[in-house]
Structure 1
């Protein structure tokens, strides 16, 4: 299934404006704190090498939780980064992914649990010390799991997830988790598409006068195209976490993997 989502290799493209900012956009982390820490280090080094002194922008494209084993620790790290950004060291923007939306849904509705654990929610529960129900559990078991999860889920984590953004714009770049509905103006896009859309967006011109930067759909290599950039390289499965640097020139791909670091 993972390989079926792979898309063509990068296309040549024109440079787009970032409104004068240096922006780094990070793809889907999925519970891989080790990769996130390594990539933040690589981004920091890259920024120092540019010689710029204005604060950069760090955009997280969503899907911080599920599949990997360290979802709770990833959210802790993002909260720390947000606090550091408040000191003026950099600007920090965090987008919601479909996995965060589903986690929040489970906090309120136990019957969101069965589908959630099918695509990684079980690992998130375990990262908070909560056991997932076994097999085809009854609704009562899911309610017990929901109550245990809510009791274990820090209020700071819930507050962080509930303030996540759906869209961020810098110059000619639009940052979303999954993509946009083709032919629909940005101001009329709906959350369901921004968080979940796939083939309709990937296979058709979106019609916006912008380059859309997104994750959500894993690709074998980061995709840098004329209309969109995809930096989801399936970190939980490949061990490779990807970012793109945008500064008005040619986009630069930055990656970290444990294999390359050893």
Structure 2
């Protein structure tokens, strides 16, 4: 028998725990640092018994400072383990490239060149097949040497989902009809249409990113907080404080 669904308006976070769920960062360490500063200020002037800051994945690619984002998140987690990070498809794609470099893989096709540059490594290649493969070989080795070991460990440590109260957090979404604890990790970081098009309620409100929207998308069964930070200059978070839910935006103009 299927679990009864819950509507966003009726959903509650855990008693006494404020949740902040931050959307896709994609190398924008400036926005991430500003959002963290805003959250820290909130926790000072409006304290709560406990809190969690949940990052929904896609820390690397496209933006200018993927290395800086990973450095920032590692430091945040070491400073306080209530800073939580989930895996996104680009983070897993980065690991895949480090394991087996592919000229036409996700990493190279969608912003991996910028990620490598943040580590001081150039992955540009000429148009020939041989040139691409030779660049991959040399660039892959240089990137492995340039990356701090802790960065690879960080990427490997990322879980695919978290649950708090009436909320389920993941990068991309879930497959309707499958229990939350049986979801395929590939769906959790890649799914789109079959999830977005589902109008029924889920056992929990799914909080996700992965698919860019101009502003936070709050639906009856899900919340999308990916506002294309690397390009729009706006990073978005969902805040859950008991029954209270609100959207928090951090913008840096002209970045």
TM-score by length of 2: 0.91
Match among 96, 112, 116 for residue 105 of structure 1: 96
Distance 2:200 2:92 in 1: 24
SS in 1 for 2:9: coil
Distance 2:253 2:57 in 1: 24
Distance 1:44 1:73 in 2: 19
Match among 21, 34, 45 for residue 30 of structure 2: 34
Q: How does 1:53-202 map to 2 (within 5 A)?
A: 54-86=49-81, 91-111=82-102, 114-136=105-127, 137-202=131-196
Distance 1:106 1:253 in 2: 34
- Stretch deviating more after TM superposition (129-138 or 62-71): 129-138
Give the drift of 1:257: 1.0
Q: How many residues align?
A: 245
Distance 2:103 2:207 in 1: 29
SS in 2 for 1:19: coil
1:44 matched to 2:30? The reply is: no
Distance 2:201 2:237 in 1: 24
What do residues 133-161 of structure 1 show as CA deviations (whole Å, max 9, x unaligned)?
A: 31444323212211111111110111111
Q: Where do 5+ consecutive residues of structure 1 fail to align?
A: 1-11
Preserved contact between residue 22 and residue 56 of structure 2 (Cα < 8 Å): yes
TM-score by length of 1: 0.88
Moved over 6 A (4+): none
Distance 2:105 2:171 in 1: 23
RMSD between aligned residues? 1.8
What do residues 150-188 of structure 1 show as CA deviations (whole Å, max 9, x unaligned)?
A: 111110111111000101000110000000011111122
- Stretch deviating more after TM superposition (247-256 or 63-72): 247-256
Preserved contact between residue 15 and residue 250 of structure 1 (Cα < 8 Å): no
Q: Where do 5+ consecutive residues of structure 2 fail to align?
A: 1-6
Distance 1:207 1:244 in 2: 19
1:19 matched to 2:14? The reply is: yes
